[in-house]
Amino acid sequence: MSFISYLVNGISLGSVYAIIALGYTMVYGIAKMLNFAHGDVIMIGAYVVLTAMASAGVSPVVAVLLAVVFCTVLGMLIERVAYKPLRNAASPLAVLITAIGVSYLLQNVALLVFGANTKSFTSVVPIPPLVLAGGNLTISGETIMTIGACIVIMVGLTLFIQKSKAGQAMRAVSEDKGAAQLMGINVNGTIALTFAIGSALAAIAGVLLCSAYPTLTPYTGAMPGIKAFVAAVFGGIGSIPGAMIGGILLGVIEIFGKAYISSQMADAIVFGVLIVVLLVKPAGILGKNIQEKV
């Protein structure tokens, strides 16, 4: 039974990574940049929920909605102020370094506003745990909520990209910005929309993560952010199903590593997997080897 329990926990943790990885992979696919501040948006989202519930006393649902709105605006603001001016910079390193700078900025602003003390996060999930197999297997409400949210987001995002006009515009921009402009697509607007969606997902990921692992510090987002990046690369960066598969595999590997190998070594195993994947399949599981067609 413990194997199944580990597996479910792994899928749940992996679902959080997957939701974060979606933000990474969409931004990479469309703006062709790695937004290393993405993990810290998660942390900001969690603080918004915590503050709204503890200080303003609003209901969990309203708090989560507030966090989504706040992070959406924050993501668009970061893109507008920090990344957009560098879009045509001579070196792609400029925007990468800026993203790392924004990451530290968010962490330090949080440090200033909320302090360095660990805050305990109250779960916002109202679902009772599910007891199966005569009490041998308990699945927490957080786990159910996380996996459910992940499925809904995945389906919703896929439909949005495939069916909606804005989604089609995203695919066109992702392939060829110049040609997309010639079709009448506002490339700046499309990139801003991508950041908005990615950041809204980050807020949801933050709430789910902190509901399952109820501690919050200004550095809470950093590690899951990096791991979600690993997940995105693992699955094939730029690919939405890739981010999903990469995230879930990574979560399962991490939990199994903790359970069966060593809890201290779990992170080493996760990053070791990245190294192996990059050696064997540099483009990731669903990634494509990009070839120039002449």
Partner 1 sequence: MAMLEIKDIEVYYGVIQAIKGISFEVNEGEVIALIGANGAGKTTILHTITGLLSPKKGTVIFEGKDITKVPAHKIVSLGMAHVPEGRRVFAELTVYQNLRMGAYTRKDKAEIEQTLEMVYKRFPRLEERKNQLAGTLSGGEQQMLAMGRALMSHPKIIVMDEPSMGLSPILVNEIFDIIQEVSAGGTTVLLVEQNAKKALSIADRAYVLETGKIVLDGDAKELMNDDSIKKAYLGE
List residues near partner 1 by CB under 8 A. 165, 168-169, 171-172, 175-176, 178-187, 293-294
Amino acid identity of 233? V
Output the smallest distance, CB 252 to partner 1, in A: 29
Nearer to partner 1, 116 or 179 (CB): 179
Smaller CB separation from partner 1, 31 or 46: 31
* Complex with partner 1: residue 2 or 164, whichever CB lies closer: 164
C-beta closer to partner 1: residue 120 or 293: 293
Please, which residue, 28 or 47, has the CB nearer to partner 1? 28
Nearer to partner 1, 264 or 293 (CB): 293
Minimum distance, C-beta of residue 276 to partner 1, in the bound complex (Å):
28
For residue 138, the minimal CB distance to partner 1 (Å) is: 44
Considering the complex, what minimum distance in angstroms separates the CB of residue 84 from partner 1? 14
Closest contact distance (angstroms) between CB of 243 and partner 1 is 17
For the four alpha carbons of 174, 178, 183 and 187, in that order, the dihedral sign comes to positive
Closest approach of partner 1 to the CB of residue 188, in Å? 9
Residues 14/146, Cβ–Cβ less than 8 Å: no
Give 138 or 168: the residue with its C-beta nearer to partner 1: 168
Q: How far is the CB of 168 from partner 1 (least distance, A)?
A: 7
Residue number, 59 or 186, with CB nearest to partner 1 = 186
Minimum distance from CB of 294 to partner 1 (Å)?
8
Q: Measured between alpha carbons, how far is residue 207 from residues 67, 121, 123, 230 in Å?
A: 9, 9, 8, 21
3-state secondary structure the chain: CHHHHHHHHHHHHHHHHHHHHHHHHHHHHHHCCCCCCHHHHHHHHHHHHHHHHHCCCCCHHHHHHHHHHHHHHHHHHHHHHHHHHHCCCCCCHHHHHHHHHHHHHHHHHHHHHHCCCCEECCCCCCCCCEEEHHHCEEECHHHHHHHHHHHHHHHHHHHHHHHCHHHHHHHHHHHCHHHHHHCCCCHHHHHHHHHHHHHHHHHHHHHHHHHHCCEECCCCCHHHHHHHHHHHHHHCCCCHHHHHHHHHHHHHHHHHHHHHHCCCCHHHHHHHHHHHHHHHCCCCCCCCCCCCCC
